[in-house]
Structure 1
Amino acid sequence: MHNRGWRSVYCITKRDAFRGTAPINLTDRLHQVLRWATGSVEIFFSRNNPFLATTRLKFLQRIAYMNVGIYPFTSIFLVLYCFIPAFSLFSGHFIIETLNITFLSYLFIIIICITLISLLEVKWSGISLEEWWCNEQFWVIGGSSAHLVVVLQGLLKVIAGIEISFTLTSKSTAEDEDDIYADLYVVKWTSLFIVPLTIMVINVVALVLGFSRTVYSVIPQWNKFFGGVL
């Protein structure tokens, strides 16, 4: 619609205009994220890609739609990032060969900026720190599972012509209908768990291996071990 020149207005009513139910267990939540990311990837590979949009699409709109279409592809870098600490502990070599004051200064500035942005988001949205932390955890889980699967499916559709399919989100699976939170404790296996579980297992094994290597070495280098753990 914006690509054809239409204008839109964001409206917030004092009273909620619409209300709906959302999945609260991990499996159904991942399937919902999978469906959302599928739509983003399909738009990215379609003629409505913001890179190919007409001049009617304004610059900020183009940036916003680029963000919407590209975010699933960050899963590739996220998965690699999750494995880097384990590879560091397996090999016994820290990610950065030499640490100097310049590198640590830049790292400190980046961490402070990220922390301030996170605090700003918490204050702006009015949520608690616990809710924010849970959201950060789910972002890693969803980014390393559903988003990665969608990117692979999108590439298969473009390259091999294989259609993208997704599972509709189940809104109620628990037997106890009187308990609105009963569905929270329902655990159903899905293939989307494979990558996050693999990341967890490999990192735990790397911690044990790195600790054992440090303890039984002739000259224990605890700085490398704690650097890898950090």
Structure 2
Amino acid sequence: MNERIETATKLGRLSEDTHKEHKGFREWDFVLSRRDHQTILQILIDGRDPKAVDIEGQRLPTLVYLAREKRPQFPHNFKAGAMNALIRVSSRISNGSIILNVDCDMYSNNSAAVRDALCFFMDEKQSHNVAYVQFPQNFSNPTKNDLYGSSLMVIMELELPGFDSDGGPCYIGTGCFHRRETLCGKKYGQDCKTTDWIKTVNNNDREVEESAVVLEESCKVLASCSYEENTLWGKEMGLMYDIPVEDIMTGLAIQCRGWRSIYHTPERKAFLGLAPTTLGQSLVQHKRWAEGDFQIFLSSYCPFLYGRGKIPLKLQLAYCLYLMWAPYSLPTLYYVFVPSLCLLRGISLFPKISSPWAMAFAYAMLANRAYSLGEFIWVGGTVKGWWNDQRMWMFKRTTSYFFGFAENILRLLGFTKSSFEITAKVAEEDISERFEQETMEFGASSPMFTILATIALLNLFSFLGGLKREMLDGRCKILDQFVVQMLLSGVVVLINLPLYQGLFFRNDNGRMPSSVTFQSTLIALLVCTIAAC
């Protein structure tokens, strides 16, 4: 089905065989564009039909294809709007008490995950207040040392399990089993403490063929553009609207209604998806996350305001660990710019290495990195994987998080509006080959790449300038005074080695574009010249 739809989209027409096989395809004759079409709904397999069996004679589940109505004059609210339409339509067709939500590029890797989730929902003593069971987000295609740090191993294996003692993890948008009534806005109360809420939907006595047709026609209105007008959908019902990270906001709203969540990490990964295969894809994805998270923090849904008296303070603080990703960019940018510029200028920012006060800085730096490495190794990572992870955190904080921070400030000032940027996961063959070889992919020009290249070159010039000053001066006084700043610039230089290769030494299609190389070199030389004067 997916292949047929993709082929029809590319060709702009349907083959005669496809056109005849499914009546849902016939409605494509009236589709104006991907963003302007009527509701298309077809029950492909009706689970109540005795004839709906597989080759072994086993009953098949109901399978429904839905393309909700889209019109240019109505906001479609992206993923949240699609999810809410599916919630409403499924309530009429199956009304299953449990809803599983996975991203379009994910698949089941562990069939026992369904049973595991139901065990949490049906536990006689502790299930009454469980709203959703969240599984970690895992990928099928990361490299051995996770080149782009996409797996977020420490977050998935250490931080999110820590939420369980605070009221449960945040909802991360995929690999999640939901109790239907909590997604529909129900508050937790005494009536939720019964365990017989999972009920079987009774079949009616009408003919299956007639029932399927009636259901299809009656459900189309539920997926129409105008259905949500003057309703609580997107506000108190379903997934939340107007925020790029609707999942985090929805999970917080559910927990503030009195429910809790569960984080479950089975030994065999439950669901697998596709991680970004280029640096640009990864940075764009994190820019959307950082922008949306910080938007929540600045809104009336800030955990300290919205969650006050509803969820524990420690859970409010746990949410803010991610909601504050965007502002993290500011101290990071300071540390990659200011010490190197002051090194060129001959301004010392830290105590001399011979001073006892230098021990405090040395301890903070070494202990922090040692703890970080220990965490990463503990969750199954490699030393090289940790180094790649450190590189990506610096890249994300100086670009993705900074852009997310700037977007929020501009939005508050009325210059921009919230947007939803889709992360492409499809890669060409040569890109996939470089990804498997753990060669960093740049390729297209981007303002983010210009910032990264400028930072890399600025620290390289500053580090070389510091070494030159020490060699010309010939005394240990200079080294004693600037050793911490030289160390900082040296670490940034080491982290950026793949970037230098992309700028000057690679000839493949994944190298840094010449325009970025020229711009960043010019900016770095200009800044260094001004700083040295």
TM-score, normalised relative to structure 2? 0.40
Which range is displaced more, 124-133 or 3-12?
Answer: 3-12
More strand by share: 2
Distance 1:164 1:147 in 2: 15
Query: Which residue number in structure 2 is paired with residue 228 of structure 1?
Result: 485
Query: Which residue number in structure 2 is paired with residue 24 of structure 1?
Result: 277
Kindly report which structure 2 residues correspond to 1:1-230, keeping only aligned pairs within 5 A, or say none. Answer: 1-52=254-305, 53-96=307-350, 101-160=355-414, 162-175=416-429, 181=436, 185=441, 187-217=443-473, 221-223=477-479, 224=481, 226-230=483-487
Q: Alignment partner of 1:9: what SS?
A: strand
Displacement after TM superposition at 1:209 (Å): 3.0
Larger radius of gyration: 2
Displacement after TM superposition at 1:185 (Å): 4.3
Which one-letter code corresponds to 1:64 in the other structure?
A: A
Q: Calculate the aligned-residue CA RMSD, in Å.
A: 2.7
More helix by share: 1
Distance 2:329 2:348 in 1: 24
Displacement after TM superposition at 1:99 (Å): 5.5
Task: Report Cα offsets for 1:170-193 as digits up to 9, x if no partner.
Answer: 111314598584896462221111
Which one-letter code corresponds to 2:451 in the other structure?
A: V
Which range is displaced more, 2-11 or 165-174?
Answer: 165-174
Q: Quick check: 2:326–2:402 contact (8 Å CA) kept in 1?
A: yes
Distance 1:120 1:102, change over 3 A: same
Number of aligned residues? 230
Q: Quick check: 1:26–1:187 contact (8 Å CA) kept in 2?
A: no
| Structure 2 gap ranges (5+) | 1-253, 488-533
Distance 1:46 1:226, change over 3 A: closer
Q: Alignment partner of 2:357: what SS?
A: helix
Which one-letter code corresponds to 1:189 in the other structure?
A: S
| Structure 1 gap ranges (5+) | none
Which range is displaced more, 22-31 or 181-190?
Answer: 181-190
Distance 1:82 1:28, change over 3 A: same
Q: Quick check: 2:290–2:404 contact (8 Å CA) kept in 1?
A: yes
Q: Alignment partner of 2:299: what SS?
A: coil
Which range is displaced more, 212-221 or 117-126?
Answer: 212-221
Task: Report Cα offsets for 1:53-101 as digits up to 9, x if no partner.
Answer: 2311112211111111112201011001111221222211221365564
Which one-letter code corresponds to 1:49 in the other structure?
A: C
Q: Alignment partner of 2:462: what SS?
A: helix
Q: Quick check: 1:3–1:57 contact (8 Å CA) kept in 2?
A: yes
Distance 2:388 2:440 in 1: 14
Distance 1:141 1:108, change over 3 A: same
Which one-letter code corresponds to 1:5 in the other structure?
A: G
Distance 1:161 1:3, change over 3 A: farther
Distance 2:319 2:417 in 1: 23
Displacement after TM superposition at 1:204 (Å): 1.9
Q: Alignment partner of 1:33: what SS?
A: helix
Distance 2:309 2:441 in 1: 50
Distance 1:225 1:106, change over 3 A: closer
